[in-house]
Structure 1
Amino acid sequence: MKLMKCLMNLLETQPVGSVLYVSLGSFLSVSSAQMDEIIAGIRNSDTSGFKDGRADDRGIVVPWCDQLRLCHASVGGFWTLCGLNSTIESLYAGVPMLTFPIFWDQVPNSKQIVQDWKTGWRVKKPEIASESLVTRDEITELVKMFMDLNSYERKDMSKRAREVQEICREAVAENGC
């Protein structure tokens, strides 16, 4: 409970669209070596920071979190493995995604996010072997570009995410489909 309060306090103090929300699964996740690269890459991006179980003014790591936090105005991006629930929650929140599929339905979900809906970018290119690490330097550059809310690519992706969000919200509204 204390960590959730820290998380909410952190979100409340961040500028609109400035937070990269990272969720790497509760059932399947990345290797510890890949996790080290992800953490180092995000730290080096100058857009976020971590301290395990403790908050500072830039980031917090919690073992589990309600993904409806994606709806918070400070959240500007979501790094996801692309499980179906995470994908739906991000679309509903209108948040662009960095996709990092590792298994099962995650791969086609990532394709839909990136190629069909154009609401995200893929972290690891499909032609790269699945056991290959994405390096901290690659992650740093990708996160910097992804979280640059003023770039044309990012503005276009955010606009598309808001359009998909509106479709989702209409679908679940009264008399929706």
Structure 2
Amino acid sequence: MTEEHYFSAQPSVGVRRRDVEFTAGGREYALVAAGGVFSADRLDPGTAVLLRKAALPGAGATGPLLDLGCGYGPIACVLATSAPSATVYAVDVNERARALAAENATRLGAANLRVAAPDEVPEDVRFAEIWSNPPIRIGKPELHAMLDRWLPRRAPDGVAWLVVARHLGGDSLQKWLEERGHRVARHASQKGYRVLKVG
């Protein structure tokens, strides 16, 4: 299976479900993943770095929060359980990913997690936090269009947390974001990944 399948709205590869277990924010998670979604065999190393190094919202956070390109939902599920009073949107173009994210939210009892296709998110929603392990491999034009669409939807004091592998252009993405007028800080680096905080 090539990684590109997870960019498809309706993946053609076999489902082949499997459990993915990981720890984040001091809590253990056991989520279901399947073929045709991003990093279906394990928690993606970049996602692990993001969840370890970025500042998870506190229990009192009210959001709304966004997991952009949610896959089967590891980031969204961590956000929803860390901030139970916040509405968390888990957004992905991949239909199978959305179904898995919804199933995982149900597993966790995370009634505050809303799974949606990009066009299903109400236009007036402004996010206190946007979290993403963005799909670098879709190519720069598509990646830039995605970020241009969603980053302006931060609330006035909102932030975005992005993780990008250095060898896949983490530094060049930071430069591009700055050229687009965003304030960007390299919050952390670990295991070849950059965690960028976009203010």
Alignment TM class, shorter chain as reference = 0.3 to 0.5
Bigger relative contact order, structure 1 or 2 (CA pairs below 8 A, ≥6 apart): 1
Q: Which has the higher helix share?
A: 1
Report the TM-score when normalising by structure 1: 0.39
